[in-house]
């Protein structure tokens, strides 16, 4: 309640400052007015706008969006040029050009241009892939246009549109409610309040706080219960949520990994600044030319800064979305790839994931466990659909019952259904008022056995034993009860009492054959699987045991209701099965697990799963799910199979594991090169490498690393999410960098002591050795195993690395050598190079084993995501290809 949105008050009626009606009005102003006055001011009607009116208003107000995913070419280019060191080097090269060092200056300029172009091309391609991904995702809402209901893109809504609201839906704009049926909205994204807010159509008094605006449904909030209809009063940045979201920026948010990458780049820049200054001062003390010393120092600094890191990350994410799609996993936004890989707890239903999802009717039993045709008939009469088995409302148990042999014949006589009280998660019952052929009316109630038995006057003692045996066998059971209804013509929940237990309907949904392997795969990925089901706890436990899933504590819906939030957070960690749970229970379980810093995924496919899908770190649904569930999900699986999900998680982790490889290799090699350059500057009478050669070396090395996203990843690297560990990277840089420098210094001795090299030959030797060692070391550092024998790189990475080394060897002998300041190397050098490279890779293996020690299973860090993350995630639904409207 501390947010500014809660403390704002409505202006006095005479000073409302309403916008031009078709452009909308603030929700707080609309909430004060009666519905008809709002409709009049917006110049609309309950039958909605016409298509022409909607187009005119869209042109006037702009899209209902708070994020833009349009690729701006100049912005991508500017990101390549924003390095102060790169620009300073370019300016210095230009100055040296005018002072006569024209060849070197031109070469530096060309290499810088190629480096920028390489980063620009790769990042632009990745950005366009992301744009295409966002453009394919549509979020729609049911609006009334031209007098009839139609699906409309959320971003096309305008003030005056009449919109329908249903359970689990995200409110698409600020609405003044016209109708509300038991409507509640979760407004925590705006107010921070965890309790849902009741909604109605009555106007509020002036001065009412935003959190108490009962007559309005606000953009970005979630329909927690009930349904409603509202007229759009504000869209995009004019809506309450839109103002908050735009305050965080218009572009799609960075992932946590990208934020860490940017911070790490700043750390490297600081290291580069210190070392570059030292090298420059050293060169000046040795009375070297100012421009030469400055160019050399700046080139070294540019070399250590990871210029292609953004391109590598963007390319990895774009390639990752395509790889996941091939594995039947569709992500709606690139940020979802990281969330998918981060997941360490999965909450899922058992139907269709642990079981086949093909429910079959087994038998109808009386309370004593004997077959009963009467119970079978009563079960058919108690279904919510028609008495011919049609229009069953998607209830799989009713469908299985009607598919049983003899179902149609069992109710072929003249039974009439007079009224139905549908199932809900509070009662866990369905009741039907039925008139028999003899004219007598009966109430048939069926549902969860414990709910039905609690409403029966007498229950045979043997019934409890029959139920226990059925549950222990893994059967799904529906209890059926009845009583005379007299002359009743309608039924309410109060009529579901004084019942006589008729018996039980028994169904079977066998465990899925592939589920055991899928669960083992998820366990290997460090993901704890928890089952949320509306079924009996004994049935859920039996299925888990059959599939080898270790069952910890089991909580029922009643248990959950009796626990406070902190108590539930502790209990949820220890529990495997949550049985007889409601939609609100599922959402509470997800919130409780997140309170402990776990990255929680929720897999659901029904309308009742929408609340939990919105509340999870990563919402998962399937292609056959309801529209509400698919709309609420971040990731859609083309098959409801935990194996497909495991592949998706592994794919997400593979992307970031490969990016970490680039970071470790690049920082250690570049730091080693700077260390070597600093040392060489102290003892040589000439620059150890020309600025243009340093930049060329860096360009070639970075080019070879662009294939890292294709590399294979060892299974132990997938056992937990990849997260930034700056201390590990810093230690890695300080250990492996100097190891690289040892062989650089050995190269210096070989060039000076054996080949008596002059400046050109010395630079050629170090260029080739430096490029070869820092490029080939990728095969050692990419894995903690023995390279090639126990861990093979991908073919593209192998080809790129060997190709760059071959190019580096050829350059000093090519026609370009004189222009680049190279000289052909003697044959003996290549023998020395082969020996030094082999020794270097062997030493790296030894140091690697000492550095990492015994293999340990990585653990996921505790992660708490705040309000800003929730706003950013919700805002991504309101994304538009193009500029946003002015507020």
Q: Convert the pLDDT of each residue in 15-27 to its tens digit.
A: 333 344 467 899 9
| pLDDT beyond 60 at 393 | no
Helix (H, G, I), strand (E, B) or coil at 753: helix
Q: If phi over 0 gives left and psi between -120 and 50 gives alpha, with beta otherwise, what is residue 181?
A: beta
| pLDDT beyond 50 at 883 | yes
Under DSSP, the state recorded for 751 is: I
Chain centroid, CA 215 distance in Å: 33
Residues with Cβ within 8 Å of 776's Cβ and at least 6 positions away in sequence, in order, are: 801, 805, 837, 841
**pLDDT per residue over 200-219, tens digit each?**
999 999 888 888 899 999 99
Write out the two tokens for 622.
Answer: 């399937």
pLDDT (0 to 100) of residue 297: 79
CA–CA separation, 769 and 742 (whole Å): 12
Residue 280 · residue 92 · CB < 8 Å: no
Helix (H) or strand (E) holding 214: none
CA–CA separation, 637 and 336 (whole Å): 13
Buried (b) or exposed (e) across 293-303, using 16+ Cβ within 10 A?
bbbbbbbbbbb
pLDDT (0 to 100) of residue 2: 37
| pLDDT beyond 60 at 199 | yes
pLDDT band at 251 (very low <50, low <70, confident <90, very high): low
pLDDT (0 to 100) of residue 620: 92
pLDDT band at 446 (very low <50, low <70, confident <90, very high): very high
**Which residue out of 161, 349, 634, 744 is catalytically annotated?**
349
Write out the two tokens for 152.
Answer: 């409309």
| pLDDT beyond 70 at 52 | yes
- Show the CA angle centred on residue 784, arms to residues 782 and 786, nearest 5°: 95
**pLDDT per residue over 456-479, tens digit each?**
998 998 999 999 999 989 899 999
| pLDDT beyond 60 at 366 | yes
Helix (H, G, I), strand (E, B) or coil at 601: strand
Q: At what angle do helices 290-304 and 691-705 cross, to 10 degrees?
A: 10
CA–CA separation, 871 and 847 (whole Å): 45
pLDDT greater at residue 13 or residue 761: 761
Min mean pLDDT across 63-77, 154-168, 618-632, 839-853 is at 63-77
CA–CA separation, 148 and 747 (whole Å): 80
Residues with Cβ within 8 Å of 337's Cβ and at least 6 positions away in sequence, in order, are: 255, 317, 320, 321, 324, 331, 651, 652, 655
Residues with Cβ within 8 Å of 279's Cβ and at least 6 positions away in sequence, in order, are: 296, 297, 300, 674, 677, 678, 681
pLDDT greater at residue 337 or residue 217: 217
pLDDT (0 to 100) of residue 74: 80
Write out the two tokens for 694.
Answer: 């340093």
pLDDT (0 to 100) of residue 124: 76
pLDDT (0 to 100) of residue 505: 96
Residue 481, strand partner residues: 445, 501
pLDDT (0 to 100) of residue 305: 65
Nearest to 700 by CA among 778, 774, 777: 774
**pLDDT per residue over 829-857, tens digit each?**
999 999 999 999 999 999 998 988 754 44
pLDDT (0 to 100) of residue 221: 92
Q: In what order do the strands lie in the sheet with 345-348?
A: 329-331, 635-637, 618-622, 600-603, 345-348, 528-533, 575-579, 553-556
Mean pLDDT, the chain, integer: 83
pLDDT (0 to 100) of residue 17: 37
Q: Percent of the chain having pLDDT more than 70?
A: 87
Write out the two tokens for 530.
Answer: 């928890």
Buried (b) or exposed (e) across 73-94, using 16+ Cβ within 10 A?
eeebbebbeebebbeebbebbe
Annotation marks residue 256 as catalytic: no
Write out the two tokens for 358.
Answer: 């093909």
| pLDDT beyond 60 at 391 | no
pLDDT greater at residue 122 or residue 89: 122
| pLDDT beyond 60 at 598 | yes
Q: Percent of the chain having pLDDT more than 90?
A: 37
Q: What is the pTM assigned to this prediction? A: 0.77
Strands 345-348 and 600-603, by their bridges, are: parallel
Residues with Cβ within 8 Å of 575's Cβ and at least 6 positions away in sequence, in order, are: 530, 552, 553, 554, 555
pLDDT band at 394 (very low <50, low <70, confident <90, very high): low
């Amino acid at each position: 309640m501390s947010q500014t949105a809660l403390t704002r008050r409505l202006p006095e009626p005479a000073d409302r400052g309403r916008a031009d009606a078709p452009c909308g009005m603030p929700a707080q102003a609309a909430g004060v007015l009666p519905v008809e006055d709002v409709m009049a001011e917006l110049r609309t009607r309950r039958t909605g706008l016409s298509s022409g009116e909607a187009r005119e208003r869209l042109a006037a107000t702009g899209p209902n969006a708070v994020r833009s995913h349009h690729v701006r070419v100049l912005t991508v280019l500017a990101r390549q040029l924003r390095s102060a060191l790169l620009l300073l080097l370019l300016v210095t090269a230009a100055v040296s050009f005018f002072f006569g060092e024209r060849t070197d200056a031109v070469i530096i300029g060309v290499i810088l241009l190629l480096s920028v172009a390489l980063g620009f091309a790769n990042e632009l391609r990745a950005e366009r892939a992301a744009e295409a991904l966002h453009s394919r995702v549509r979020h729609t809402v049911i609006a009334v246009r031209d007098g009839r209901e139609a699906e409309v893109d959320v971003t096309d809504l305008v003030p005056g549109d009449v919109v329908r609201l249903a359970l689990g839906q995200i409110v698409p704009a600020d609405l003044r409610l016209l109708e509300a049926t038991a409507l509640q909205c979760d407004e925590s994204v705006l107010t921070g309040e965890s309790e849902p807010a009741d909604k109605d159509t009555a106007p509020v008094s002036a001065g009412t706080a935003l959190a108490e605006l009962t007559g309005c449904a606000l953009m970005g909030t979630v329909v927690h219960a009930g349904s409603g209809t509202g007229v759009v009063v504000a869209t995009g940045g004019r809506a309450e949520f839109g103002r908050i979201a735009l305050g965080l920026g218009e572009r799609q948010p960075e992932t946590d990994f990208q934020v860490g990458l940017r911070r790490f780049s700043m750390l490297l820049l600081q290291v580069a600044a210190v070392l570059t200054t030292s090298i420059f001062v050293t060169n000046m003390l040795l009375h070297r030319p100012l421009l030469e010393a400055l160019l050399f120092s700046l080139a070294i600094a540019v070399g250590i800064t990871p210029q292609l890191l953004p391109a590598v990350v963007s390319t990895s994410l774009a390639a990752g979305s395509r790889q996941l799609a091939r594995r039947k996993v569709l992500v709606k936004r690139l940020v979802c790839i990281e969330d998918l890989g981060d997941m360490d707890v999965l909450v899922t239903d058992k139907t269709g994931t642990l079981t086949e999802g093909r429910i079959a009717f087994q038998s109808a039993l009386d309370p004593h466990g004997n077959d009963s045709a009467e119970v079978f008939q009563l079960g058919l009469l108690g279904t919510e659909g028609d008495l011919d088995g049609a229009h069953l409302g998607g209830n799989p148990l009713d469908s299985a019952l009607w598919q049983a042999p003899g179902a149609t014949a069992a109710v072929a006589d003249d039974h009439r259904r007079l009224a139905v009280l549908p199932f809900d998660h509070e009662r866990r019952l369905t009741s039907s008022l039925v008139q028999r052929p003899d004219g007598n009316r009966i109430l048939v109630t069926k549902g969860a056995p414990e709910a039905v038995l609690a409403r029966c006057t007498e229950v045979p003692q043997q019934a409890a034993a029959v139920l226990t045996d059925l549950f222990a066998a893994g059967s799904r059971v529906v209890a059926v009860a009845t009583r005379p209804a007299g002359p009743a013509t309608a039924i309410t929940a109060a009529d579901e009492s004084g019942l006589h237990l008729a018996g039980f309907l028994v169904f079977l949904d066998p465990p899925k054959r592939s589920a055991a392997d899928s669960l083992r795969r998820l366990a290997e990925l460090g993901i704890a699987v928890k089952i949320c089901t509306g079924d009996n706890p004994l049935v859920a436990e039996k299925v888990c045991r059959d599939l080898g899933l270790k069952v910890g504590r089991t909580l029922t819906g009643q248990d959950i209701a009796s626990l406070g939030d902190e108590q539930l957070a502790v209990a949820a960690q220890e529990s495997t099965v949550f049985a007889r749970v409601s939609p609100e229970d599922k959402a509470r379980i997800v919130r409780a697990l997140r309170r402990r810093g776990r990255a929680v995924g929720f897999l659901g496919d029904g309308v009742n799963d929408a609340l939990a899908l919105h509340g999870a770190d990563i919402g998962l649904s399937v292609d056959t799910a309801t529209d509400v569930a698919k709309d609420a999900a971040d990731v859609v699986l083309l098959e409801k199979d935990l194996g497909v999900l495991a592949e998706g998680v592994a794919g997400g982790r593979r992307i970031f594991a490969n990016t970490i490889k680039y970071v470790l290799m690049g920082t250690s090699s570049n730091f080693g090169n700077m260390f070597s350059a600093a040392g060489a500057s102290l003892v040589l009478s000439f620059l150890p490498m020309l600025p243009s050669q340093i930049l060329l070396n860096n360009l070639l090395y970075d080019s070879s690393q662009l294939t890292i996203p294709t590399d294979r990843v060892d299974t132990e690297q997938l056992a937990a999410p990849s997260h930034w560990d700056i201390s590990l990277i810093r230690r890695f840089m300080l250990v492996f960098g100097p190891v690289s420098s040892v062989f650089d210094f050995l190269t210096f001795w070989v060039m000076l002591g054996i080949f008596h090299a002059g400046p050109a030959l010395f630079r050629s030797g170090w260029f080739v050795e430096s490029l070869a060692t820092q490029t080939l070391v990728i095969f050692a550092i990419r894995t903690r195993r023995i390279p090639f024998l126990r861990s093979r790189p991908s073919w593209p990475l192998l080809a790129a690395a060997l190709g760059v080394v071959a190019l580096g060897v050829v350059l000093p002998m090519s026609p370009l050598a004189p222009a680049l300041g190279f000289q052909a190397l003697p044959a003996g050098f290549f023998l020395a190079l082969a020996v030094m490279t082999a020794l270097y890779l062997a030493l790296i293996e030894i140091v690697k084993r000492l550095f990492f020690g015994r293999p340990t299973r990585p653990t996921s860090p505790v992660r708490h995501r705040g309000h800003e993350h929730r706003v950013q995630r919700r805002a991504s639904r309101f994304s538009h290809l193009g500029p946003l409207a002015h507020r």
